[in-house]
Amino acid sequence: MSSQYIIRRLLIMIPVLFGISIIIFAMVRVIPGDPGYILAGPHATKEQIEQIREQLGLNKHPVLQYLLFLKNIFRGDLGTSTRTGLPVTKEIMARFPNTLLLAFSSIFIATVFGVLIGIISGVKQNSKFDYLSMLFALFGLSMPVFWLGLMLMLLFSIKLGWFPAVGAEGLNHLILPSLTLGANSTAIIARMTRSSMLEVIRLDYIRTARAKGLAEKVVIMRHALKNALIPVVTVIGLQTGTLLGGAVLTEIVFAWPGIGRLLVEAILSRDYPVVQGVVLLVATTFILINLIVDIIYSYLDPRIRYH
């Protein structure tokens, strides 16, 4: 992969993030509710509310508000939280590592178990393991995240006492949220790996490898798996980005101090700067993950070249 391609992809991020900034700036302002009224309280006078709106710059024209927002972004300033009075960057950086830890531990679990189940199911098509694994995959796709989290909490925390129910004080607190968040991704990766393996093991070069007398393990792991993983890598990349932005319910159920909870708190209090900052951060991370996926493509299949 050429460095020019990577640089071009990074430059493409600029107009994409610019468009996202416009959309999120407009969307947060159509949410019902006035930040000035929320901060001032239900018993505040109109003068007090207007004073707060003036302090926050909400009485300016929306176009001017956006231009000021854009100017601050280029200076590395995401603004100040209207709820806490702290810099948005500080608020996000205090929570973002927790979300990263949760998302990457979830995708690690999903990748290991999803790929392993998919390989075995693909190789042993129509076996009992294949039917059972795809049944569990369907179950993983169908059940709501919050329900699974509550059931795991009830079983492993309340009944068995193996893991703590809430908080983020150690690795023990990470296990249940990771399993909850990664269940859906495990099912998706398993189904994709199985489908890809079934397609690859029927190709001519796999028959040729078997005809040469190579052991079945060598045929599967060295020849079939590498090509079968190309579409799986796409799914893993997309799921990683989805987990980063979609961990809200899991973080709420397990009281996990991540940016998902921060985003919900900001929306409820009409904290525009925090909402905008969180969404931009998630969007940037998602784009970078897609770039990493493209780089992995070229490693898995040398025929793929980006110019």
Domain that holds residue 37: 3-74
Number of domains present in the structure of the chain? 2
pLDDT of res. 241 = 76
Q: Which two tokens stand for residue 145?
A: 């995240």
Give the domain CATH number at 208: 1.10.3720.10
Give domain status of residue 181, yes or no: yes
Domain check: are 124 and 68 in the same one? no
Domain check: are 110 and 70 in the same one? no
Domain check: are 116 and 209 in the same one? yes
Distance CA 163, CA 157 (A): 5
- The stretch 91-106 carries a mean pLDDT of 87
* Domain end (from 18, 43, 74): 74
pLDDT of res. 36 = 65
pLDDT of res. 99 = 86
User: What is the DSSP-derived secondary structure letter of residue 214?
Assistant: -
Mean pLDDT of the chain: 79
Diameter over CA atoms, the chain: 86
- The tens digit of pLDDT for each residue in 37-71 reads 666 666 667 776 677 677 666 677 778 878 887 88
> Taking a C-beta distance cutoff of 8 angstroms, is the pair 146, 220 a contact?
no
Give domain status of residue 79, yes or no: no
Give domain status of residue 88, yes or no: no
Give domain status of residue 242, yes or no: yes
Domain check: are 187 and 286 in the same one? yes
Q: Which residue has the tokens 């090509």?
A: 227
Give domain status of residue 306, yes or no: no
- The stretch 167-187 carries a mean pLDDT of 83
Distance CA 148, CA 114 (A): 18
Domain check: are 240 and 106 in the same one? yes
Domain check: are 263 and 127 in the same one? yes
* Domain end (from 44, 74, 104): 74
- The stretch 64-81 carries a mean pLDDT of 80
Burial class (CB in 10 A: 0-12, 13-18, 19+), 15: exposed
* Share of residues in the chain with pLDDT > 70 (%): 86
Domain check: are 47 and 119 in the same one? no
> Taking a C-beta distance cutoff of 8 angstroms, is the pair 82, 41 a contact?
no
Burial class (CB in 10 A: 0-12, 13-18, 19+), 143: middle
pLDDT of res. 123 = 79
Domain check: are 66 and 185 in the same one? no
pLDDT of res. 196 = 85
* Share of residues in the chain with pLDDT > 90 (%): 1
Give domain status of residue 305, yes or no: no
User: What is the DSSP-derived secondary structure letter of residue 153?
Assistant: I
Domain check: are 185 and 274 in the same one? yes
Domain check: are 32 and 150 in the same one? no
Report the chain's C-alpha Rg in angstroms. Answer: 24
Give domain status of residue 87, yes or no: no
Domain check: are 169 and 28 in the same one? no
- The tens digit of pLDDT for each residue in 11-27 reads 877 888 888 888 888 87
Give domain status of residue 82, yes or no: no
- The tens digit of pLDDT for each residue in 186-201 reads 888 888 888 888 887 7
Domain check: are 46 and 172 in the same one? no
Least confident of 5-14, 125-134, 294-303: 294-303
> Taking a C-beta distance cutoff of 8 angstroms, is the pair 114, 190 a contact?
yes
Distance CA 18, CA 11 (A): 12
Residue 161, SS3 per DSSP: coil
- Per-residue pLDDT for 119 more than 70? yes
The band of 144, judged by pLDDT with boundaries at 50, 70 and 90, is confident
